[in-house]
């Protein structure tokens, strides 16, 4: 792997899932985490926070996950940051559509908080952190 996964930007509009995600990623995963509640916030914070990976909810009001990916990919300073979608609806055809957007992977909700960090590390290793 080219570098270690340390910093995660977690994007989810649901406050309870933000709290669970932060605990899962910081306490169980050992990551540095910044949490934002919308695609718009992700566009603002990603260049400043400079995460190693963005964990992005698919279904959000306003700018959804796929739209956020398109906008992030158009920003030179963050276009190479790997993105992993997290969604409650992961039908095979949707997963294929999401991967066609260039995301590193797709994880499903609900998830076990103890396992989320390891799931991200597995995707990171498979994608060689790039």
What CATH number is associated with residue 37?
3.40.50.2300
Contact between 35 and 12 under an 8 Å Cβ cutoff? The reply is: yes
- Residue 32 placed within a domain: yes
pLDDT band with cut points at 50, 70 and 90 for residue 2: low
- Residue 48 placed within a domain: yes
pLDDT band with cut points at 50, 70 and 90 for residue 129: low
In the chain, how many domains are there? 1
- Residue 109 placed within a domain: yes
Contact between 124 and 103 under an 8 Å Cβ cutoff? The reply is: no
The pLDDT value recorded for residue 74 is 96
Average pLDDT over residues 7-25: 96
The pLDDT value recorded for residue 93 is 87
Average pLDDT over residues 32-54: 97
Q: How many CB atoms lie within 10 A of CB 32?
A: 14
Average pLDDT over residues 4-10: 96
- Residue 1 placed within a domain: no
Instruction: For residue range 58-109, list pLDDT tens digits in order.
Output: 999 999 999 999 999 999 999 999 999 999 887 888 888 888 999 999 999 8
- Residue 43 placed within a domain: yes
Average pLDDT over residues 1-16: 89
User: What is the C-alpha separation between 46 and 25, in angstroms, rounded?
Assistant: 17
pLDDT band with cut points at 50, 70 and 90 for residue 27: very high
Q: What is the percent of the chain where pLDDT is above 70?
A: 96
Beta strand ranges found along the chain (DSSP E) = 7-11, 32-36, 53-57, 83-87, 105-108
**Prior bond of 118 cis (ω within 30°):** no
- Residue 59 placed within a domain: yes
- The stretches of 7-127 forming alpha helices (DSSP H) are 15-23, 39-49, 65-73, 92-100, 113-126
User: What is the C-alpha separation between 26 and 23, in angstroms, rounded?
Assistant: 5
- Residue 41 placed within a domain: yes
- Which one-letter DSSP state was computed for residue 58? S
The pLDDT value recorded for residue 20 is 95
The pLDDT value recorded for residue 57 is 96
User: How far out from the chain centre does Cα 124 lie?
Assistant: 11
- Residue 2 placed within a domain: no
- Which one-letter DSSP state was computed for residue 66? H
Owning domain of residue 104 = 7-126
């Amino acid at each position: 792997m080219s570098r270690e996964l340390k910093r995660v930007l977690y994007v989810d509009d649901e406050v309870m899932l933000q709290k669970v995600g932060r605990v899962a990623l910081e306490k169980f995963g050992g990551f540095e985490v910044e949490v934002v509640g919308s695609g718009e916030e992700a566009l603002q914070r990603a260049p400043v926070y400079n995460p190693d990976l963005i964990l992005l909810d698919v279904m959000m009001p306003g700018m959804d996950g796929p739209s956020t990916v398109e906008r992030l990919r158009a920003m030179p300073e963050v276009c190479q940051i790997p993105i992993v979608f997290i969604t409650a609806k992961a039908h095979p055809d949707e997963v294929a559509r999401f991967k066609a957007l260039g995301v590193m992977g797709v994880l499903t909700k609900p998830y076990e908080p103890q396992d989320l960090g390891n799931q991200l590390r597995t995707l990171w290793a498979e994608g060689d952190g790039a």
